[in-house]
Amino acid sequence: MIPVQGYKGHKVAVLGLGRSGLATAAALRAGGAEPLLWDDSPEARARAEAAGWTCHDLTREGAFHGVAALITSPGIPHLYPQPNRVIAAAMEQGIPVDNDIGLFFRSWAMPDWDNFETTPRTVCVTGSNGKSTTTALIHHILDHAGRPTQMAGNIGRGVLDIEPAQDGEVVVLELSSYQTDLARALTPDIAVFTNLSPDHFDRHAGLGGYFAAKRRLFVEGGPDRAVIGVDEKEGVFLANQIATSREDDRVIRISAAKKLGDFGWSVFARKGFLAEWRKGRQVGSIDLRDIAGLPGAHNHQNACAAYAACRSLGIAPKVIEEAFHSFKGLPHRSQTIAVKRGVRYVNDSKATNVDSAEKALEAFSNIRWIAGGLGKEGGVKSLQPHLGHVRKAYFIGHSGRDFALELDGLDHEICETMERAVERAAEDAEPGDTVLLAPAAASFDQYKSFEKRGDHFAELVVALPD
């Protein structure tokens, strides 16, 4: 646990009692603060009280008397579409509002660091797609290289729940826009921006607000080095804002779509080969084509981002390449579940929007595509140009019939349920085919989470005859 610094002897309100909220309360108490816990959900309050905490009603009159700060969980709206009433009340009374990420960065450094030979570092990864895989891959490379490392944030443990740093340790954090938007302290040593695609418009009042939340990690955080994906205009803009010149190697541009040889430092992937260029010449190369844990161009972008971050930490290209080959990938992200009767079954349940589904569809050939769920604003018509590898689609869930109408001319079957979709896809599939779950939709019409959806797919696949 990281004891929170700066609030010893003060009352600090904590709103939201999920995983990060309870970890925050414990870290505040460990730092000498008096946490005042509240959640709008009676069930969440009951769970906290069962764990030994006392709840304080932050909605009552005078609840913030003597309170030094309000720490809110990232999922609770603080501005759009409407601020939570507790957060609104705190702001109206001038109470500073922060989150666990802000507390982490003000508390991470400890006095015993003065005795370390190598100062601990933080690597923060944000973006729309690929940030979980990139975060896990960086952590895996560091572990393979023998560097002490922990992984936290939007993946794994809460940031305040990790252990205090060892000498030379590197903490790798995945940060969502919800987390970067409100944190009052953002001081990563290395910051990574993977890409940007439309998402969370209600929370950020549009694409501009969504990008602005992610941009904070770079322009307000002031990292020593920035790794920036430049396959979208927002990444090109961000790299241009930070770099002082074309030769400025504090910015490492990465791409899975184009050559980037004319900058101070760049890493890109073309035709399955990763290349590192510095000051106009190539200094490293890795063949990514046969790396099972990183299939497709979208994972090649993740590989470029992880490679660049780890090279910034002084890890040799050969060590990184070895780690790539031992990386198993993450559950629900282009995860091969099984190969049965010559048919590959891939779980990409995390593909909850059209952009991530597009990347999955481009990564495989001879696809039997399982898609559908709770469709998002804008539909799936933009996927039409990316269906060349799809032999047949099997639509499920609330939006399955809408998907079929939007994707003109695609051979398809309305299956409604995952059971029926897996059964029919398996019956139709031939050796060399890939049955791909890439829903392009949220899961909440039939499942509690995309993880539950992916787990169900995996269970059904495992039960198929060999």
pLDDT confidence bin for 328, thresholds 50/70/90: confident
Tens of pLDDT, residues 146-200: 999 999 999 988 999 999 999 999 999 999 999 999 999 999 999 999 999 887 8
| Same domain? 317 vs 343 | no
Could you say which DSSP state residue 441 is in? S
List C-alpha distances in Å: 247 to 207, 215, 382. Answer: 30, 22, 37
Strands 390-396 and 412-416: parallel
Q: Looking at the predicted structure, is the pLDDT value of residue 429 above 90?
A: yes
Q: Domain limits at 426?
A: 335-462
C-beta separation of 1 from 27 below 8 A: yes
Q: Looking at the predicted structure, is the pLDDT value of residue 19 above 90?
A: no
* Residue 195 annotated as binding site: no
* Residue 130 annotated as binding site: yes
Q: Percent of the chain beyond pLDDT 90?
A: 90
pLDDT on residue 414: 98
Tens of pLDDT, residues 83-127: 999 999 999 999 999 999 999 999 999 999 999 999 999 999 999
* Residue 240 annotated as binding site: no
| Same domain? 247 vs 122 | yes
Q: What is the CATH number of the domain that holds 306?
A: 3.40.1190.10
Tens of pLDDT, residues 370-398: 999 999 989 999 999 999 999 999 999 99
| Same domain? 69 vs 125 | no
| Same domain? 72 vs 189 | no
Tell me the Cα Rg of the chain.
23
pLDDT confidence bin for 306, thresholds 50/70/90: very high
Q: Which residues pair with 225 in a beta bridge?
A: 190
Tens of pLDDT, residues 238-250: 999 999 999 999 9
* Residue 434 annotated as binding site: no
Q: Could you say which of 66, 98, 130 is where a domain stops?
A: 98
Is residue 53 situated within a structural domain?
A: yes
Q: What is the CATH number of the domain that holds 47?
A: 3.40.50.720
Residue 360: closest CA among 382, 342, 387: 387
Which residue in the block uniquely carries the two structure tokens 């059964």? 423
| Same domain? 229 vs 274 | yes
pLDDT on residue 301: 95
Average pLDDT over residues 334-343: 94
Is residue 126 situated within a structural domain?
A: yes
Residues 6+ apart with CB under 8 A from 146: none
Q: State both tokens at 195.
A: 């890409």
Tens of pLDDT, residues 186-227: 999 999 999 998 878 899 999 999 999 999 999 988 899 999
pLDDT confidence bin for 298, thresholds 50/70/90: confident
pLDDT confidence bin for 401, thresholds 50/70/90: very high
Tell me how far apart the alpha carbons of residues 199 and 177 are, in angstroms, rounded to a whole number: 10
Average pLDDT over residues 359-379: 94
Q: Could you say which of 72, 98, 124 is where a domain stops?
A: 98
Q: State both tokens at 259.
A: 């050559």
Average pLDDT over residues 302-318: 98
Residue type, 420: R
Tell me how far apart the alpha carbons of residues 144 and 315 are, in angstroms, rounded to a whole number: 10
Report the residue count for the chain.
466
| Same domain? 278 vs 309 | yes
Q: Could you say which of 61, 77, 98 is where a domain stops?
A: 98
Is residue 89 situated within a structural domain?
A: yes
Is residue 370 situated within a structural domain?
A: yes
| Same domain? 293 vs 359 | no
Is residue 2 situated within a structural domain?
A: no
pLDDT on residue 261: 79
| Same domain? 144 vs 72 | no
Q: State both tokens at 214.
A: 């992610």
| Same domain? 181 vs 93 | no
pLDDT on residue 214: 97
Q: State both tokens at 267.
A: 């890493």
- Number of H-type helices and E-type strands within the chain: 15, 19
Q: What is the CATH number of the domain that holds 389?
A: 3.90.190.20
Please count the structural domains in the chain: 3
pLDDT on residue 262: 87
* Residue 132 annotated as binding site: yes
Own/partner contacts of 206-212, CB < 8 Å, gap of 24 or more, are 209/80, 210/177
Rounded to the nearest integer, the mean pLDDT of the chain is 96
Q: What are phi and psi of 120, to 5 degrees?
A: -60, 150
Tell me how far apart the alpha carbons of residues 382 and 213 are, in angstroms, rounded to a whole number: 25
| Same domain? 361 vs 441 | yes
Is residue 382 situated within a structural domain?
A: yes
Is residue 103 situated within a structural domain?
A: no
Is residue 305 situated within a structural domain?
A: yes
pLDDT on residue 290: 87
* Residue 432 annotated as binding site: no
pLDDT on residue 64: 97
pLDDT on residue 330: 87
| Same domain? 113 vs 88 | no
> How far, rounded to the nearest angstrom, does the alpha carbon of residue 434 sit from its chain's CA centroid?
25
List C-alpha distances in Å: 216 to 87, 172, 254, 412. Answer: 21, 18, 19, 43
- Identify whether 81 is preceded by a cis peptide bond (ω within 30 of 0): yes
Q: State both tokens at 409.
A: 């001319």
* Residue 129 annotated as binding site: yes
pLDDT on residue 241: 95
C-beta separation of 376 from 349 below 8 A: no
Residue 368: closest CA among 318, 314, 428: 428
| Same domain? 223 vs 256 | yes
List C-alpha distances in Å: 94 to 287, 408, 422. Answer: 55, 54, 55
